[in-house]
Amino acid sequence: MKILLVGAGGVGDAIAKIAAQRSFYESIIISDYDESRARRTRDWIVARHGEHVGARFSTAQIDASNSEAVAALVRDLAVTHVMNAVEPKFVESIFAGARAAGADYLDMAMSLSHPHPEHPHTQTGIKLGDAQFAEAQQWEAEGRLALVGMGVEPGMSDVFARYAVDHLFSEVEELGTRDGANLVVTDEEGNEIFAPSFSIWTTIEECLNPPVIWEQARGWYTTEPFSEPEVFTFPAGIGPVECVNVEHEEVLLMPRWLSAKRVTFKYGLGAEFIGVLRTLNLLGLDSVKPVRVRSANGPVEVVPRDVVAASLPDPAQIGPRMTGKTCAGVWVTGWGLDGQPREVYLYHVSDNAWTMAEYNTQCVVWQTALNPVIALELLATGVWAGAGVRGPESFDAKPFLDLMALPVEDGGYGQAWGLEEREPSVGVR
Amino acid sequence: MKILLVGAGGVGDAIAKIAAQRSFYESIIISDYDESRARRTRDWIVARHGEHVGARFSTAQIDASNSEAVAALVRDLAVTHVMNAVEPKFVESIFAGARAAGADYLDMAMSLSHPHPEHPHTQTGIKLGDAQFAEAQQWEAEGRLALVGMGVEPGMSDVFARYAVDHLFSEVEELGTRDGANLVVTDEEGNEIFAPSFSIWTTIEECLNPPVIWEQARGWYTTEPFSEPEVFTFPAGIGPVECVNVEHEEVLLMPRWLSAKRVTFKYGLGAEFIGVLRTLNLLGLDSVKPVRVRSANGPVEVVPRDVVAASLPDPAQIGPRMTGKTCAGVWVTGWGLDGQPREVYLYHVSDNAWTMAEYNTQCVVWQTALNPVIALELLATGVWAGAGVRGPESFDAKPFLDLMALPVEDGGYGQAWGLEEREPSVGVR
């Protein structure tokens, strides 16, 4: 296995750092539009693990928006697997480049959606991943695999869902991905500040798009942003967080392979963050349409959303001033193997103090990066195999979760996951 | 009386339009940094009232930031009264220019405050109007009058307070200015939009400054922004609105001339608007420090608060798409002339439909402009007279309120005001 890692931003950097501790691949080419970022990641690996590990890593410059450039690099370097770790707007060009050059492909976010032109808050338009699933037959016919949505959410969440369906339930009512955290960022004086742990630009996009829901009787449909608020209690001391519907890949993936009455995704944004996003929308500050504004050098045109991003701390820089944990998981309701009502939350928690100490990476980014490395290892060892455009839930979940939880000294990733039994409310819901 | 009107923005324009219907002055020079704005106001007056009225109005260019330029214009045109109708940041230069040239002076907002350097949320620093009151003796010695804070709030509110002290109460507990509205702005399709009826730039400044309160036993002190929220019920169908403490001139003016235990100002911003201002502050979007941001022409530096203002509709343009009423008044508590507990709200309501039809001016702007015209008329006729730096409450309130309420056909302004008796809660508060 020869991996082309596209993107050495936060998640790409963490993927390389995690993979540096594994031996399932021949080599990894870390590529970025700005090759110095790729070199910085490789330098960290050499400093941490020595030249013998660093020797399996090289760097390259890449233009991810150009599918032909991606294909050329894949061919030149005899790449077998393209690991996409850049912004979702580049999904289609990298996906096309990998296929053109005959490589397998993995990503952590799917091709972008476009709302329904007339009824955006009730009907879907072009859905997340539609552009990729449109080519599923060709990938399958060519015997190549595109494993899409293989981060933490989507990714680990889909693996949990498959595990629940196979091993915990006889019939599933709802597969509800639920994500929450208790992260706090402080300034130099130790005062808590508003500093999202991920790009506000992308968060605005994600949260203001119409959320999508799937129901067996209705198929996919959309709602108003921030719909169906619910307080979900997260484990590991995180506690109750206000969650709302957000457009996310799980809802588009799970129903294709798993049987459930309803599939949802709710993000634990918290009341404050939801309020901020609503206000940005109300004032038009989420807009990507430039406005004319005065400056010291005369009138200029800027995009309000860019100004919002520029006014906040850079999420890549806040790790050292952040404390707390982030939790990703799936809340499953239905009937257990014994036919009795059952409700469980399957989850994984990532602690910022630990990820910063071990990887110099903040915990949200690190948790995302963990999963594609495990998936690549399962593909390299032949435990997972297949062709076509496939979600994580189309593969057996058990070997993934076993390898993830196995202690490092026994050859695993040492990342325990949890199963919390909850008081079932099926039937009354 | 020869009046130099400084500023032909919203309020200056409305002052000229209201004055055009009165005959107490010899002439008015409408001046602005952009003289075309002054000509636009004069053109409206000519179109509405004919050349014989227009003949009393002329226009001039002025640099309000330059006190010598102001003084020169006052001398050249033999001006007797300078009416300041520009942003408060120009108060000091116009105030100085008027005095240097020996004219009387009126404004609707006082010289700006600066928070206490160490304890901004408990102690005052430089207060609103301090720079003007510092020169009170000179104005008095020269026999010249500076009538400061003579808009609606401050202005009409101070007149109401004086009236209550003189005619309604034997002892006053609190003079509480309360301002609220039920204005709604819609877009072209008739959907309600977020569009403040006054400059968001100034509103941010006003609302995020530490609010000031006066108490007999304590003097002036400050609090955190948005402190002491209270739901105040406004008359004329406006109903209950959430009000919070905001730094405002009344609190600095009333205690200088009127006896009360406590003087406050609360603005009926409403929960939504308070939320918006809090969020802008949280995200640093209220900042006046430039941030670097990408643009089509490369990186540029812009002030976040300017971008917020540029993203919202221009308050001067929303009048035609606005409906509703705005209410200004003073809530007075204490003991009546009979020694019994008494609580009244003295108020004036301005209806946008009427101000747009009669003056092509939105109601908040029009209500502000009404009061300095009445004050100028009382000064021109000698009903009000005096010297020094004086607030509206230093003059007899009755002739003001009588002239305001007198029907137009009887020579008044035809603006009824209200007195609402409320269930007194003195003693239990």
| Domains observed in chain B | 2-151+366-410 (3.40.50.720), 156-363+417-422 (3.30.360.10)
Strands (E), A158-215: 169-181, 184-186, 192-193, 212-215
* B311 closest CB neighbour out of A284, A294, A310: A284
B301 contact residues in A (CB cutoff 8 A):
295-297
User: With contact defined as beta carbons under 8 Å apart, do B160 and B168 qualify?
Assistant: no
| CA–CA dist B175, B124 (Å, integer) | 20
Helix B35-49 and helix B10-19, axial crossing angle in degrees, nearest 10: 30
pLDDT for position B414: 97
List the single residue in A282, A301, A312 with the smallest CB-CB distance to B295: A301
Contacts across the A-B interface (CB distance below 8 Å) = 88
pLDDT confidence of residue B124: 97
Per residue in B216-252, pLDDT (tens digit) is 999 999 999 999 999 999 999 999 999 999 999 999 9
The complex scores an ipTM of: 0.70
- Which residue ranges in chain A fall short of pLDDT 70? 426-429
Interface residues of A toward B, Cβ cutoff 8 Å, are 194, 275-276, 279-280, 282-285, 287, 290-297, 300-304, 306-308, 310-312
Task: Give the list of residues 6+ apart from residue A344 with CB closer than 8 angstroms, or none.
Answer: A164, A168, A331, A332, A419, A420, A421, A422
Q: Is the Cβ pair A306, B293 closer than 8 Å?
A: yes
pLDDT tens-digit profile of B49-69?
A: 999 999 999 999 999 999 999
Distance of alpha carbon B336 from alpha carbon A150, whole angstroms = 75
Per-residue confidence (pLDDT) for residue A294, from 0 to 100: 86
Q: How many CB atoms lie within 10 A of CB A195?
A: 20
- In which band, very low, low, confident or very high, does the pLDDT at B426 lie, cut at 50, 70 and 90? low
**Arithmetic mean of pLDDT, B31-41:** 96
Write down the pLDDT at residue B413: 98
pLDDT at B191: 86
User: Tokens 């100490």 — which residue?
Assistant: A357
Which of B200, B203, B291 has the highest number of chain A CBs within 10 A, making it the mutation to test binding with A? B291
Quick: pLDDT tens for B319-377: 899 999 999 999 999 999 999 999 999 999 999 999 999 999 999 999 999 999 999 99
- Residue contact B302–A306, C-beta within 8 A: no
Q: What is the pLDDT of residue A297?
A: 86
The pLDDT value recorded for residue B205 is: 83
Q: How close is the nearest chain B Cα to the Cα of A274, in Å?
A: 11
CB-based contact A291 B283, cutoff 8 Å? no
Q: Which residue has the higher pLDDT, B225 or B197?
A: B225
Alpha-carbon distance of A345 to A361, in angstroms, equals 26
- The yes-or-no verdict on residue B402 having pLDDT over 80 is yes
A389 bridge partner residues: A146
Of the candidates B81, B99, B76, B95, the one whose C-alpha atom is nearest the C-alpha of residue B2 is B81
Query: Cβ distance A109 to A252 under 8 Å?
Result: no
Closest CA to A6 of A63, A58, A54, A72: A63
Measured between beta carbons, the chain B residues lying within 8 angstroms of A121 are none
Give residue A428's pLDDT. 41
Q: Which residue of A has its CA nearest to B302?
A: A295
**Residue in A191, A192, A308, A312 to test binding to B, most B beta-carbons within 10 Å:** A308
Render pLDDT for B252-294 as a digit per residue (tens, 0 to 9). 999 999 999 999 999 998 888 888 998 999 999 999 899 999 8
pLDDT tens digits, residue range B109-142? 999 999 999 999 999 999 999 999 999 999 999 9
pLDDT in tens, A3-35: 999 999 999 999 999 999 999 999 999 999 999
CB B91 within 8 A of CB B109: yes
Gyration radius of chain A's alpha carbons: 21
Residue A33's φ and ψ, nearest 5 degrees, are: -60, -35
pLDDT for the residue A114:
94
The Cα A157–Cα A180 span in angstroms is: 13
Verify whether the Cβ–Cβ distance B279 to A275 is below 8 Å.
yes
Asked if the model's pLDDT at residue B189 lies above 90, the reply is no
CB contact under 8 A, A294 and B284: no
The answer on pLDDT for B427 being more than 70 is: no
Considering only CB atoms, which chain B residues are within 8 Å of A310? Answer: 291-293
Dihedral sign from CA coordinates of A101, A107, A109, A110: positive
| Residue to substitute from B269, B272, B295, interface A, most A β-carbons within 10 A | B295
Asked if the bond preceding B154 is cis, omega within 30° of 0, the reply is: yes
Reading the block at residue A126, the tokens are 């072009």
Paired sense of beta strands B104-106 and B145-147, if any? parallel
Give the pLDDT band of residue B428 (cuts 50, 70, 90). Answer: very low
Quick check: A276 and B297 CB within 8 A? no
Q: Give the number of other CB atoms < 10 A from CB of residue B158.
A: 29
